[in-house]
Each structure stands twice: as structure tokens, then as C-alpha cells.
Structure 1
Amino acid sequence: MRPALFRTRITELLGIRHPILAGGMGPKVSDARYVAAVVNAGGMGFIVGAGYSDPVEFRAQLVQCRELTEGKPFGVNFYISRQEGGVDRVKRQIDIVIEEGVACVETAGASPEAVVPLLKQAGIKVLHKVPAVRYALSAAKLGVDGVIIVGNDCGGHPGIYGISSMVQAAHAAQVIDLPIVIGGGIGSGRQLAAVLAMGADAVLMGTRMLVSEELWIHRAAKELVVRGDGTESVVVKKAIRDHHRVFRNASAEAALALDDAKVTDFEQYRPHVMGALAHQAYVSGDTSTGMLDYGPAAVFADTVESAEAIFDRFIDDARAADDRLGSLRAAA
């Protein structure tokens, strides 16, 4: 493992070696084994709470992760649904998170206002993930410990505004006095160096980590990412204002057709966007169907390797970028 190269507000807040976060990648994709590998490589990972509706199974994941990390801090992702009962479902899992001593939580979706006090009272760090600086400003008022801002290139949900990560990084540092994490299209260490130069404190990676050896998904799904160059990603569900960047397969094509027809009835999208399809794709390796989160950072994922190897290459690249910047400084 590479020694620490940067010390930022995020590395200090979370007690991690490198300013690298691996975002929650969907229900049961980011499990205990994968998250532990990310943590042991010097970053921070998040078990996705939505994947474990059974409280016994959820607790078992937390216990396993703590054992695999030998007590190092790890995180949990809570997606707060805007549908009725969404907050209550998260609150039930918060009780388990508190009991099991989880260090930090990544919240996303609806406002975390109802859960931030519960987490903070228990001493758990809260990072709220949003797709635009305007939402981050609102989250900052709720007492969160930091914000994660994802740009238009992110695999998953980039929001409706289509603002790039590069703009968000520079803008957020101007207006938010909290630790800032930037995601969306991030897959190289030189991007980390650039983000830190712009005033942010860490990066968040998703697509780049799909080729991690410790991730349980089918090898064929990982090889798909290795072969890709990022142009295979497409944003669907725009007509219903639920923008979703995914791999362009048969399900994505069906959703695109509905978008083109300006269909706003979700029930017509449902057969193509059900989470069960994506899960089956990851189990079987048949990626022809399912909403598979996938962004242009796939261009950096050129081989299947361990999380530690990915991080080592990332830090080496960041060091080279930092050295290059120093070599470009004009003489006094």
C-alpha cells in the first residue's frame, strides 16, 4: 500500500490514508467484502443499506466488515426514498448502525434532515451526496459533516442539470465551508490532484471500481467494463426527471424509446428498470438487460485487479501529476 500522499479535511474527518471514497454501487453490490477491501486499501467504502431489508442480514454484513477491516472505520450508504415510509425504513437501520459502531454514513436521495440528528448524536459522521452545488448548500445547513457532489459524468444518478464535475469542484469550494468530495467521471489520480487543487478534499469513484477483484459481480460484467471506453454510457428516464446514467443495453434502449416518446407514466418504464434485472445481470454475467450504473470513467478501468492495486496506481498517478505541476512553475 502506498504511503499517504495528501492530508485533507476528509482524510482527517474519516481517519483514512488516502482521500478516496468508493461510493455505494447499488443494493447488494457494495457488500462487506468489497467495502473491507476498499478500507484496507486506505480509502472509505459504504455498504448499501437498501440491499439488506432483513435486519439480521444487514447486521451480519456490518459484523463481517468490521472483522475483515480489523476494526478500521467503514461506512454505510442510506438512500432516503421520497416515497411514503422511506425515512422510517432508514431509521430502522440506523439503530443497527449505531449498535454496530459504524463510523460514517453516506446519505442520498431525499433530504437527510430527519436522520442527521440521530446519526450525529451517536457520533457518526454524515456525508450527504447530491448532484448539484445548490443542493449541497441546503445540506450544509442541516449539520452534515461533509458533502459529496457528483457531476454529469457519474454512473447512476447525475441529476437533471447536467453540470460537469470540473465546474462543481471549483464552484463548491467557493461557496461551501465543509469538507467536499467530488465524484462523476473520476478514475485517475491526476483528477484527484486537480480536484484538490480546486479546493475540494477527496474524490468519489464508482464505475472505476467495478473491476475490483473483491467485488462479487460476475467476471463477464467486469470484462465488459475493461473492454469499454466510456462511450457506452447513456442517460435514460429523462422524461420522468429521474436521470440515470447506465450501460447502453436492451433495457436502456427501451427506456430511451420511452423518453423519445415523452412518456411520463413510470409504469411503462417499470419492466425495464426493475432492480431485479440488474441484480440478475451481475449474477449471471448477461449484461444485455438491467439498469447497470456505468459512466465514462470506464475508460480508466483497463484490467481486473484488487482494490489495493487500483488505489496504488491512482496514488502513483496523482503523485506524477503533482510533480508535473511543480515542474511547470515559472522561476521567481
Structure 2
Amino acid sequence: MRPALFRTRITELLGIRHPILAGGMGPRVSDARYVAAVVNAGGMGFIVAAGFPDPDEFRSELRRCRELTAGRPFGVNLYLSRQAGGVERLRRQIGVLIDEGVACVETAGANPEPVLPLLREAGVKVLHKVPAVRYARTAVKLGVDAVIIVGNDCGGHPGIHGIGSIVQAAHATQVIDVPIVIGGGIGTGRQLAAVLAMGADAVVMGTRMLVTEELWIHPAAKDLVVQGDGTESVIVKKALRDHHRVYRNESAEAALALDDAKVTDFEQYRPHVMGSLTHEAFVTGDMRTGMLDYGPAAVFADAVEPAEVIFDRLIDDASAAAERLAALRPVSECDPRGS
């Protein structure tokens, strides 16, 4: 593992070596083994709570992660659903993660206000994920500890505004005073260096981490990412204003056809977007169906490697980028080396 190269508000807040987060990648994808590998590589990962609706199973997964990290802090992804009963289900899971001493949560989806008091009272750090700076400012007013802002290049849900990550990073640091994490299309250390240079505190990655050796998904799924160049991603469900960037397969094509027809009845999309299809694809390696979160950062995922090797590559690249930037500074006229 590389020594710490950067100290930021996020490394301090979360007690991690590197300012690198691996965001939750869907129910049962980001499990204890994968998250532990990320944590042990010096970053922060998040077990996706939605993958473990049974409280006992959820508790068991958290304990497994704690064992694999030898007690190092790790996180949980909490998706805030707008469906009836969603907040109550989440509160039950929050009770479990508090009991198990989880250090931080990555919240996403709806407004986190209903669950913030419970988390803050327990001392759990809250990083709220949003697709635009305007939403991040609202989350800051609610009292979150940090914000994660993802741009239009992110696999998963980039929001409806289509703002790129580099714009989000430059804008967010002008108007937000809590720690800022930038995601969307991130897969290299030079991007990490650029984000830090703009004033942000860390990056979050998703697609780049699909080729992590410790991730349980079928080898064929990882090979598909390695062979891709990122142009295979497409945004679907635009007619529903629920933009979703995914791998362009048969399910995505069906959803695109509904979008083109301006269909706004979700039931017509349902057969193509069911979570069970995605899980089956990751289990079997047949990637023709399912909404498979996938972004342009696939172009950087060029080999299946352990999480620590991926992180080492990022840190080495970030170091080289920082050195290059320093070398571009002109020699002062007062410096004898410039005479």
C-alpha cells in the first residue's frame, strides 16, 4: 500500500489513508468482502443496505466486514426511497448499523432530513450524494457532514441536468463549505489530483471498481468492462425524469424505445428495469439484460486487479500529475537557476 500522499478534510473526517471512496454499487454488489478490500487498500467503501432487508442478515454482513477490516471503520449506503414505508424500513436498518458501530453512511435518493437526527445523535458521519450542486447546498443546510456530487458521466443516476463532473467540482468549491467528494467519470489519479487542485477533498468511483478482484460478480461481467471503452453507456428513463446511465444492452434498448415514444407509464418500463434482472446478469455473466450501472470511466478499467493495486495505480498517477504541475511553474527571475 502506498503511503498517504494527500491529507484532506475527507481523509480527516473518515480516518482513511487516501481521499478515495468506492460508492455503493447496488443491492448485494457492494458486499462485506468488497468493501473490506477497499478499506484495507486505504479508502472508504459502503455496504449497500438495500441488499440486506432482513435485519439479522444485515447485522451478519456488517460483522463480517468488521472482521475482514480488523476493526477499521467502514461505511453503509442508505437509499432513501420515496415509496410508502421506505423511511421506516431505513430507520430499522439504521438501528442495526448504529448497534454495530458503523462509522459513516452514504445517503442517496430522497431528502435525508427524516433520518439525519438519528444518525447524528449516534455520531455517524453522513455523506449525502446528489447529482447537482443545487441539491448539495440544500443538504448542507440540513446539517450533513459532507456532500458527494456526481456529474453527468457517472454510471447509475446522474440526475436530469446533465452537468459534467469538472464543472461540478469547480462550482461546488466556490459555494459549499463542508468537505466535498466528486464523482462521475473518475478512474485515474490525474483526475484525483485535478479535483483536489480545484478545492475538493476526495473522489468517488463506481464503474472503475467493477473490475476489482474482490468483487463477487461473474468474471464475464468484469471482462465486459475491461474490453469496453466507455462509449457503451447510455442514459435511459429520460421520459420518466429518472435518468439512469447503464450499459447498452437489450434491456437498455427497450427502455430507449419507450423514451423515444415519450412513454411516462412506469409499468411499461418495469419488465426491463427490474432489479432481479441486474442481479441475475451479475450472477450468470449474461449481460444482455438488466439495468447495469456503467459509465465512461470503463475506459480506465483495463484489467481485473485487487483493490489495493487499483488504489496504488491511482496514487502513483496522482503523484506524477502533481509533479508535472509543479514543473510547469516558471523559474523566478530572482532565482539564480533562471539566470
Q: TM-score, normalised by structure 2?
A: 0.98
Matched, 1:311 2:287: no
The gaps in structure 2 that reach 5 residues or longer are 333-339
Match of 1:103?
A: 103
Match of 1:226?
A: 226
| Equivalent-residue separation in structure 2 for 1:259 and 1:227 (angstroms) | 28
Match of 1:160?
A: 160
How is 1:212-291 mapped onto 2 (pairs within 5 angstroms)? 212-291=212-291
CA deviations 1:127-147 (Å, max 9, x no partner) are 000000000000001111000
Residue type of the alignment partner of 1:94:
I
| Equivalent-residue separation in structure 2 for 1:225 and 1:30 (angstroms) | 17
Match of 2:336?
A: none
- Could you tell me how far 1:85 is from its partner in structure 2? 1.1
CA deviations 1:32-53 (Å, max 9, x no partner) are 0000000000000000000110
CA deviations 1:165-205 (Å, max 9, x no partner) are 00000000000000000000000000000000001000000
| Equivalent-residue separation in structure 2 for 1:142 and 1:127 (angstroms) | 12
Match of 1:150?
A: 150
Match of 1:197?
A: 197
- Could you tell me how far 1:89 is from its partner in structure 2? 1.1
- Could you tell me how far 1:331 is from its partner in structure 2? 1.7
RMSD after superposition: 0.4
Match of 2:68?
A: 68
| Equivalent-residue separation in structure 2 for 1:108 and 1:140 (angstroms) | 14
| Equivalent-residue separation in structure 2 for 1:238 and 1:244 (angstroms) | 8
CA deviations 1:217-255 (Å, max 9, x no partner) are 000000000000000000000000000000000000000
- Could you tell me how far 1:25 is from its partner in structure 2? 0.0
Match of 1:42?
A: 42
1:35 is paired with a residue of what secondary structure? helix
- Could you tell me how far 1:86 is from its partner in structure 2? 1.3
CA deviations 1:49-90 (Å, max 9, x no partner) are 001101111001100000000000000000000111111111
1:141 is paired with a residue of what secondary structure? helix
Match of 1:322?
A: 322
Of 44-53 and 83-92, deviating more is 83-92
- Could you tell me how far 1:264 is from its partner in structure 2? 0.2
Match of 2:16?
A: 16
| Equivalent-residue separation in structure 1 for 2:88 and 2:268 (angstroms) | 28
Matched, 1:77 2:106: no
| Equivalent-residue separation in structure 2 for 1:258 and 1:238 (angstroms) | 9
- Could you tell me how far 1:163 is from its partner in structure 2? 0.1
- Could you tell me how far 1:330 is from its partner in structure 2? 1.3
* Matched pairs, number: 332
CA deviations 1:290-309 (Å, max 9, x no partner) are 00000000000000000000
Matched, 1:301 2:301: yes
The gaps in structure 1 that reach 5 residues or longer are none
CA deviations 1:269-290 (Å, max 9, x no partner) are 0000000000000000000000
| Equivalent-residue separation in structure 1 for 2:83 and 2:183 (angstroms) | 26
| Equivalent-residue separation in structure 1 for 2:193 and 2:275 (angstroms) | 35
Q: TM-score, normalised by structure 1?
A: 1.00
- Structure 1 stretches of 4+ with a deviation exceeding 6 A read none
Identity of aligned pairs, percent? Answer: 80
- Could you tell me how far 1:326 is from its partner in structure 2? 0.4
Match of 2:89?
A: 89
| Equivalent-residue separation in structure 2 for 1:235 and 1:178 (angstroms) | 30
CA deviations 1:96-115 (Å, max 9, x no partner) are 00000000000000000011
Residue type of the alignment partner of 1:17:
R
CA deviations 1:7-30 (Å, max 9, x no partner) are 000000000000000000000000
Match of 1:116?
A: 116
